[in-house]
Amino acid sequence: MLSENDLHGIYVPVITPFDTQERLDVESFERYLTSLIQHDMDGIVLNGTTGESPTTAWDEVGRLAEAARACMRSKALPLVIGSGTNSTAESVRRTEAAGLWGADAVLAVTPYYSRPSEEGVIEHFRRIASVGFPVIAYEVPSRTGVTLSAETMKRILDLDGIIGLKDASGGTSLAEKLLPNCQKPILCGEDAHLLEMLQLGAAGGMLASANVHTTAFLDVYAQAASGNMSLAAATFDRLLPLIRLLFRESNPAPLKWLLARQGHIASDTLRCPMARISDALQEELSALSEVIA
């Protein structure tokens, strides 16, 4: 199981491949993941936003977890499974299941849609953490409709069992307030802000963009961790145009298109209501991905 001290570096949230009939494509998943883990990232995240968690059934997550563990058998790589929903009871049940499936920690998003009070959100995380399995909190207000104050997030991070935070709050303001007074690791979850977050003292990132040009993202982290911020900035600047294109239309649609084009998965199919990317974005991604080292 992951501890606070283990939570650092670059974690890659993986996509969930579907065939053209929107059925789970485990064969593509195994091929894609086997290729991806040849890189020395610090962990894999299954069933996150990038994995289309809103439309992936929980039993399908179990099948993917089994496949992931088989692919990763020869490599000691942490597996984080997204278990958070807008139902506290369901999130608890999923956290228990993720532990049985061999996860090393779970990623639990701030409960969405219901627009709970901040006290309700704290209790939500307290109950998930009471399972006794490591929990990474995930703040992403652009998707949940809930924006937590730094004070509330600090109370969540102070809970036993919460080992860190994925901060996709849309900027660096939350991290700026938390990092000086927080002993638990904060990972950047907003790809375009990776360099800024590392400069502030973030422990790393959970980055969908790191599915492609993975080595360059690992270099950014390693260069920053060694104190060579100017080199990290130069490396990151080369990646930034691609990051911006990958998030121009809703993630993971651009990423899936690119992975399919590169032959890592058989199809860029997404589950409705997600739709494939525009022709214009396809052209831009195709041109840009060829020139980034």
85 annotated as belonging to a binding site for a ligand:
no
d(CA 35, CA 285): 21
User: According to the model, what pLDDT value does residue 74 have?
Assistant: 83
Q: Which residues are catalytic?
A: 138, 166
Domains of the chain: 4-289 (3.20.20.70)
Q: How far apart are CA 76 and CA 40, in angstroms?
A: 10
Strand residue runs (E) in the chain: 9-13, 43-46, 79-82, 105-109, 135-139, 162-167, 186-188, 204-206
Full pLDDT tens readout for the chain, 293 residues = 999 999 999 999 999 999 999 999 999 999 999 999 999 999 999 999 999 999 999 999 999 999 999 999 988 899 999 999 999 999 999 999 999 999 999 999 999 999 999 999 999 999 999 999 999 999 999 999 989 999 999 999 999 999 999 999 999 999 999 999 899 999 999 999 999 999 999 999 999 999 999 999 999 999 999 999 999 999 999 999 999 999 999 999 999 999 999 999 999 999 999 999 999 999 999 998 766 54
Cβ-based neighbours of 291, under 8 Å, separated by 6 or more: none
Per-residue pLDDT at 291: 60
Report residue 19: phi and psi, to 5°: -85, -175
pLDDT of residue 226: 97
Peptide bond into 252 cis (omega under 30): yes
The amino acid present at 196, given as its one-letter code, is E
> What is the distance between the alpha carbons of residues 164 and 45, in angstroms, rounded to a whole number?
14
